[in-house]
Amino acid sequence: MSKHQTQSEETVQDIPQTEEKPAEEGASAQAEGQNDPEIKEQENEAAAKPLTPEEKIAELEAQLAETRDQLLRKAADFENFRKRINQEKQSAIEYANQSLLLDIIPIIDDFERAIQAGEGSSDLTAFLEGVKMIEKRLSNQLEAKWGLKRFTAAGEPFDPNIHEALMMEKSPDVGEAVVQEDLVRGYLLKDRVIRAAKVKVLMPAE
Protein backbone atom coordinates (compact mmCIF):
# COMPACT_ATOMS: atom_id res chain seq x y z
CA MET A 1 0.00 0.00 0.00
CA SER A 2 1.30 3.41 -0.93
CA LYS A 3 1.89 6.22 1.46
CA HIS A 4 -0.64 8.42 -0.37
CA GLN A 5 -3.44 5.94 0.13
CA THR A 6 -2.75 5.63 3.82
CA GLN A 7 -2.96 9.36 4.35
CA SER A 8 -6.30 9.55 2.50
CA GLU A 9 -7.88 6.89 4.71
CA GLU A 10 -6.71 8.65 7.82
CA THR A 11 -8.18 11.91 6.57
CA VAL A 12 -11.58 10.25 5.96
CA GLN A 13 -11.55 8.71 9.41
CA ASP A 14 -10.80 12.03 11.09
CA ILE A 15 -13.94 13.79 9.61
CA PRO A 16 -16.69 13.76 12.26
CA GLN A 17 -19.98 12.16 11.17
CA THR A 18 -23.08 14.49 11.24
CA GLU A 19 -26.10 12.89 12.90
CA GLU A 20 -29.39 13.32 11.00
CA LYS A 21 -32.48 14.23 13.14
CA PRO A 22 -35.42 12.01 12.46
CA ALA A 23 -38.51 13.48 10.77
CA GLU A 24 -40.52 12.65 13.85
CA GLU A 25 -38.75 15.35 15.82
CA GLY A 26 -39.88 18.05 13.35
CA ALA A 27 -43.50 16.90 13.51
CA SER A 28 -43.34 16.76 17.29
CA ALA A 29 -42.04 20.31 17.46
CA GLN A 30 -44.81 21.50 15.18
CA ALA A 31 -47.44 19.80 17.35
CA GLU A 32 -45.95 21.36 20.46
CA GLY A 33 -46.19 24.73 18.76
CA GLN A 34 -49.87 24.18 18.08
CA ASN A 35 -50.51 23.23 21.71
CA ASP A 36 -48.58 26.17 23.01
CA PRO A 37 -50.95 28.30 25.16
CA GLU A 38 -49.41 31.53 23.93
CA ILE A 39 -50.00 30.58 20.30
CA LYS A 40 -53.58 29.59 21.05
CA GLU A 41 -54.20 32.87 22.83
CA GLN A 42 -52.90 34.78 19.84
CA GLU A 43 -55.17 32.82 17.51
CA ASN A 44 -58.19 33.48 19.77
CA GLU A 45 -57.41 37.18 19.90
CA ALA A 46 -57.23 37.25 16.12
CA ALA A 47 -60.60 35.44 15.87
CA ALA A 48 -62.19 37.78 18.42
CA LYS A 49 -61.10 40.86 16.63
CA PRO A 50 -63.93 43.44 16.87
CA LEU A 51 -65.94 44.16 13.77
CA THR A 52 -65.64 47.46 12.04
CA PRO A 53 -68.67 49.77 12.25
CA GLU A 54 -69.56 48.95 8.66
CA GLU A 55 -69.40 45.22 9.37
CA LYS A 56 -71.48 45.63 12.53
CA ILE A 57 -74.15 47.62 10.65
CA ALA A 58 -74.29 44.98 7.93
CA GLU A 59 -74.68 42.24 10.53
CA LEU A 60 -77.51 44.10 12.32
CA GLU A 61 -79.27 44.80 9.05
CA ALA A 62 -79.14 41.11 8.17
CA GLN A 63 -80.58 40.18 11.59
CA LEU A 64 -83.31 42.82 11.22
CA ALA A 65 -84.26 41.53 7.78
CA GLU A 66 -84.46 37.97 9.09
CA THR A 67 -86.64 39.05 12.04
CA ARG A 68 -88.94 41.04 9.77
CA ASP A 69 -89.32 38.05 7.46
CA GLN A 70 -90.23 35.79 10.39
CA LEU A 71 -92.82 38.30 11.64
CA LEU A 72 -94.39 38.58 8.20
CA ARG A 73 -94.63 34.80 7.93
CA LYS A 74 -96.25 34.49 11.36
CA ALA A 75 -98.70 37.30 10.56
CA ALA A 76 -99.68 35.54 7.32
CA ASP A 77 -100.12 32.23 9.16
CA PHE A 78 -102.32 33.89 11.80
CA GLU A 79 -104.46 35.60 9.15
CA ASN A 80 -105.00 32.27 7.36
CA PHE A 81 -105.90 30.64 10.68
CA ARG A 82 -108.38 33.42 11.50
CA LYS A 83 -110.07 33.12 8.10
CA ARG A 84 -110.35 29.34 8.44
CA ILE A 85 -111.90 29.63 11.92
CA ASN A 86 -114.42 32.21 10.70
CA GLN A 87 -115.37 30.01 7.76
CA GLU A 88 -115.86 27.00 10.01
CA LYS A 89 -117.91 29.07 12.46
CA GLN A 90 -120.12 30.43 9.70
CA SER A 91 -120.58 26.95 8.25
CA ALA A 92 -121.53 25.59 11.69
CA ILE A 93 -124.15 28.33 12.09
CA GLU A 94 -125.63 27.81 8.62
CA TYR A 95 -125.92 24.04 9.00
CA ALA A 96 -126.59 23.83 12.75
CA ASN A 97 -130.13 22.52 12.19
CA GLN A 98 -129.18 19.89 9.63
CA SER A 99 -129.68 16.91 11.97
CA LEU A 100 -133.04 18.22 13.15
CA LEU A 101 -134.23 18.79 9.61
CA LEU A 102 -133.16 15.30 8.59
CA ASP A 103 -135.41 13.97 11.35
CA ILE A 104 -138.35 16.10 10.18
CA ILE A 105 -138.11 15.22 6.48
CA PRO A 106 -139.48 11.66 6.93
CA ILE A 107 -142.44 13.14 8.84
CA ILE A 108 -143.15 15.42 5.88
CA ASP A 109 -143.05 12.33 3.67
CA ASP A 110 -145.65 10.72 5.93
CA PHE A 111 -147.92 13.76 5.63
CA GLU A 112 -147.62 13.70 1.84
CA ARG A 113 -148.59 10.03 1.73
CA ALA A 114 -151.52 10.66 4.09
CA ILE A 115 -152.78 13.52 1.90
CA GLN A 116 -152.50 11.39 -1.24
CA ALA A 117 -154.38 8.58 0.44
CA GLY A 118 -157.08 10.97 1.75
CA GLU A 119 -157.65 12.49 -1.68
CA GLY A 120 -158.69 9.12 -3.09
CA SER A 121 -160.79 8.01 -0.13
CA SER A 122 -163.99 9.13 1.53
CA ASP A 123 -163.07 7.51 4.84
CA LEU A 124 -162.34 10.57 6.96
CA THR A 125 -161.97 8.49 10.10
CA ALA A 126 -159.04 6.57 8.66
CA PHE A 127 -157.50 9.80 7.39
CA LEU A 128 -157.80 11.38 10.84
CA GLU A 129 -156.23 8.37 12.52
CA GLY A 130 -153.34 8.52 10.08
CA VAL A 131 -152.73 12.20 10.82
CA LYS A 132 -152.85 11.51 14.57
CA MET A 133 -150.25 8.77 14.19
CA ILE A 134 -147.94 11.11 12.28
CA GLU A 135 -148.33 13.86 14.90
CA LYS A 136 -147.58 11.40 17.69
CA ARG A 137 -144.52 10.10 15.90
CA LEU A 138 -143.19 13.65 15.42
CA SER A 139 -143.81 14.64 19.04
CA ASN A 140 -142.16 11.51 20.42
CA GLN A 141 -139.13 11.90 18.19
CA LEU A 142 -138.63 15.57 19.09
CA GLU A 143 -138.93 14.80 22.79
CA ALA A 144 -136.71 11.70 22.82
CA LYS A 145 -133.94 13.02 20.62
CA TRP A 146 -134.08 16.79 21.00
CA GLY A 147 -135.56 17.34 24.45
CA LEU A 148 -138.62 19.24 23.16
CA LYS A 149 -141.61 18.58 25.36
CA ARG A 150 -145.15 19.98 25.54
CA PHE A 151 -146.61 20.72 28.93
CA THR A 152 -150.18 21.00 30.14
CA ALA A 153 -151.20 24.03 32.19
CA ALA A 154 -154.88 23.35 32.89
CA GLY A 155 -155.57 23.06 36.63
CA GLU A 156 -152.21 24.55 37.59
CA PRO A 157 -151.80 27.82 39.52
CA PHE A 158 -151.22 30.66 37.11
CA ASP A 159 -147.49 31.36 36.71
CA PRO A 160 -146.57 34.33 34.51
CA ASN A 161 -143.16 32.75 33.90
CA ILE A 162 -144.66 29.89 31.93
CA HIS A 163 -148.23 31.01 31.23
CA GLU A 164 -149.60 33.81 29.09
CA ALA A 165 -153.13 34.80 30.00
CA LEU A 166 -155.25 35.45 26.90
CA MET A 167 -158.58 35.27 28.71
CA MET A 168 -159.60 35.84 32.34
CA GLU A 169 -162.80 35.01 34.16
CA LYS A 170 -163.79 35.60 37.76
CA SER A 171 -164.97 32.62 39.74
CA PRO A 172 -166.09 32.19 43.37
CA ASP A 173 -164.70 28.67 43.31
CA VAL A 174 -161.01 29.65 43.36
CA GLY A 175 -158.98 31.46 45.99
CA GLU A 176 -156.10 32.26 43.63
CA ALA A 177 -155.53 32.59 39.91
CA VAL A 178 -155.81 29.17 38.29
CA VAL A 179 -155.43 28.09 34.68
CA GLN A 180 -158.79 26.85 33.49
CA GLU A 181 -157.93 25.91 29.92
CA ASP A 182 -154.97 25.55 27.57
CA LEU A 183 -155.64 27.58 24.46
CA VAL A 184 -152.20 26.95 22.99
CA ARG A 185 -149.86 24.41 24.52
CA GLY A 186 -146.50 25.53 25.93
CA TYR A 187 -143.14 23.93 25.15
CA LEU A 188 -140.01 23.16 27.12
CA LEU A 189 -136.58 22.61 25.60
CA LYS A 190 -135.03 20.40 28.25
CA ASP A 191 -135.54 22.59 31.37
CA ARG A 192 -136.11 25.92 29.61
CA VAL A 193 -139.47 27.32 28.59
CA ILE A 194 -139.18 28.29 24.94
CA ARG A 195 -142.87 29.04 24.49
CA ALA A 196 -145.27 29.99 27.26
CA ALA A 197 -148.64 28.31 27.25
CA LYS A 198 -151.47 30.60 26.15
CA VAL A 199 -154.25 30.02 28.65
CA LYS A 200 -157.63 31.03 30.06
CA VAL A 201 -157.37 31.98 33.73
CA LEU A 202 -159.93 31.84 36.53
CA MET A 203 -159.53 34.75 38.94
CA PRO A 204 -160.89 34.90 42.52
CA ALA A 205 -164.12 36.83 42.88
CA GLU A 206 -163.89 39.98 44.97
Residue 186 and residue 159 in contact, taking contact as beta carbons nearer than 8 Å: no
Give the model confidence (pLDDT) of 95-109 as tens digits.
Answer: 988 999 999 999 999
Boundaries of every domain in the chain: 96-146, 149-206
Statement: residue 31 has pLDDT above 90: no
User: Residue 191 phi/psi, 5° resolution?
Assistant: -105, 10
Calculate mean pLDDT across residues 14-41: 53
Can you give the length of the chain in residues?
206
3-state secondary structure of 12: helix
Task: Measure the CA–CA gap between 56 and 61, rounded to whole angstroms.
Answer: 9
Are 141 and 164 contacting, i.e. CB atoms less than 8 angstroms apart? no
Half-sphere exposure of 40 (CA within 13 A, CB side): 6
pLDDT per residue as tens digits for the range 86-98: 999 999 989 988 9
Q: What is the pLDDT of residues 15-26, one digit of tens each?
A: 444 444 544 455
Residues 6+ apart with CB under 8 A from 151: 162, 185, 186, 187, 188, 197
61-83: average pLDDT: 94
Residue 177 has pLDDT above 80, yes or no: yes
Q: Express as a percent the part of the chain with pLDDT over 70.
A: 77
> 40 falls in which pLDDT band (50, 70, 90)?
low
Query: What does pLDDT average to over the chain?
Result: 83
Q: Which of 48-52, 178-182, 194-198 has the lowest mean pLDDT?
A: 48-52
Contacts of 204 by beta carbon, 8 Å cutoff, 6+ apart:
170, 171, 172, 174, 175, 176, 177
Side chain identity at 23, as an amino acid letter?
Answer: A
List pLDDT tens digits, range 101-155.
Answer: 999 999 999 999 998 888 878 888 888 999 999 999 999 999 999 999 999 999 9
153: nearest Cα among 206, 195, 205:
195
Reported pTM? 0.57
CATH T-level assignment (fold) for domain 149-206: Nucleotide Exchange Factor Grpe; Chain A, domain 2 (2.30.22)
